[in-house]
Each structure stands twice: as structure tokens, then as C-alpha cells.
Amino acid sequence: MPNQWFYGRGSEILGPVSGNELVELATSGKVLPTDTVWLEGREAGVPAAKFKVLFPAIASPSAAGASALPGAEAPAVGEVAASADPAASATPAAGEPAPAESPAAPPVAPRAAVPARSARATAGKGAIIIGQDGKTVKYRGKCSTCGKEDASWKSVAIPRGSARFSFFCPKCRKRQEVEIYGIH
């Protein structure tokens, strides 16, 4: 199964589409250079302008790391030739506004992909872990005296070492401690 891509503008998220469909959407103007694109299963997206397959006129020659969509099949020669001609893409069609370009701006070097933080949290005294994603942990407090669980959950960044929090136990009518241990 080919990789699936998503693209978004503001709070609108569209997809999944294949790599070839994403190239076609960029060529037709439905995906803009300012839109964010990301591969299914990834948390962070990348500006569409970083991929020279999508926007060859915008991608700078120094952006060697942003050459192709990973997982996209090689587009047909006609697709690349139609979208790779900078003169054709620089002249707007009738009724379209001219693209705003800043020739004085220095080219932006692509950032290396930052791997997702993979930390783990374990429950200590008075804690019940509900879930974690490698960055944050959701937990509930549990009274160590009477065993009553807090009705609400809290989410915090996974600590380095141990962290203590507290919650109010309505049955004991006391503040109880919660310990979370983090491993980075």
C-alpha cells in the first residue's frame, strides 16, 4: 500500500492522498506552498514549499534534503516537465494575482527532521497512568489511604527523574501525593 499524505491550511485537514495525487493537487493550485503536508503516522508536518517535487520554482537549489516526497511513486515525465518549468509557473494565468516574491530574502536551509521524543513514564505512589505519547503522560490520582480514584485526569510533560503532584481526596478530605517517574 503506498504511503498516504495529508495536507492542511489553518485548522482544515484534508487527505489521505497518495504522493502522486499530492503532486497533482500542488500543480492545480489546491495545495499551496504555505500549506502543511505530512505523512500518515507522523505528528509534525512540513511546509509544502520544502518539497521541490511539489513547488520546483520555490524550492531553492540549496534545499537538497527537500527533493522528493518519501514514499511517492516517481511522477510521469510529463507531470515533472509541466511543473518544473520556472518560467511557466512564474507567469500567472489571467485573473490570478501575481505571486509575492522577496528576492532579497536569503534562502532558508531545510531543518533536519527532529525525531519524536520517546520518554516513558511509570506510576509511583498514588498514580494511575491512563496513557502516554512519549512527550506527555495522562494520569489519575488514587488515594493511598482509602483507595478512591480521582474523577478527573491530568496531563503533564514526562519528567526527567521523578515528579510529585497532589490532588484532593473527597473521601478522606485530605491532600494526597502522586508520584510519576520518567525515563528519557
Does 100 reside within a domain?
no
Grid cell for residue 46: 512540513
Per-residue confidence (pLDDT) for residue 81, from 0 to 100: 33
pLDDT at 184: 85
Class of residue 159 by CB neighbours under 10 A (exposed 0-12, middle 13-18, buried 19+): middle
pLDDT category of residue 43 using cuts at 50, 70 and 90? confident
pLDDT top residue among 87 and 116:
116
73 shares a domain with 11: yes
Look at the pTM and tell me if it is higher than 0.85: no
**Separation of alpha carbons 149 and 169, rounded Å:** 8
What pLDDT, on a 0 to 100 scale, did the predictor assign at position 164? Answer: 94
Query: What angle is formed at CA 77 by the lines to CA 72 and CA 82, rounded to 5 degrees?
Result: 100
The answer to whether residue 66 scores a pLDDT higher than 80 is no
If asked whether residues 27 and 80 sit together in one domain, one would say yes
pLDDT-based confidence at residue 179 (cuts at 50, 70, 90)? very high
| pLDDT at position 71 | 52
Q: Same structural domain for residues 74 and 29?
A: yes
**Coil vs helix vs strand at 132:** strand
Q: Are 52 and 46 in contact (CB under 8 A)?
A: no
* pLDDT band at 142; cut points 50, 70, 90: very high
- How many domains are contained in the chain? 2
User: What is the C-alpha to C-alpha distance for residues 74 and 167, in angstroms, rounded to an integer?
Assistant: 56
How many of the other CB atoms lie within 10 Å of CB of 21? 16
Taking 80 as the threshold, does the pLDDT of residue 176 lie above it? yes
Which of residues 124 and 12 earns the better pLDDT score?
Answer: 124
Residue 12 structural domain:
5-90
* Contact between 78 and 125 (Cβ < 8 Å): no
What mean pLDDT is reported for the chain? 75
pLDDT(14) > 80? yes
Read off the pLDDT band of 80 (50, 70, 90). Answer: very low
Tell whether 75 and 151 lie within a shared domain: no
Residues 9 and 69 in one domain: yes
Same domain, 75 and 126: no
17 and 72 housed in the same domain: yes
- Residue 91, pLDDT > 50, answer no
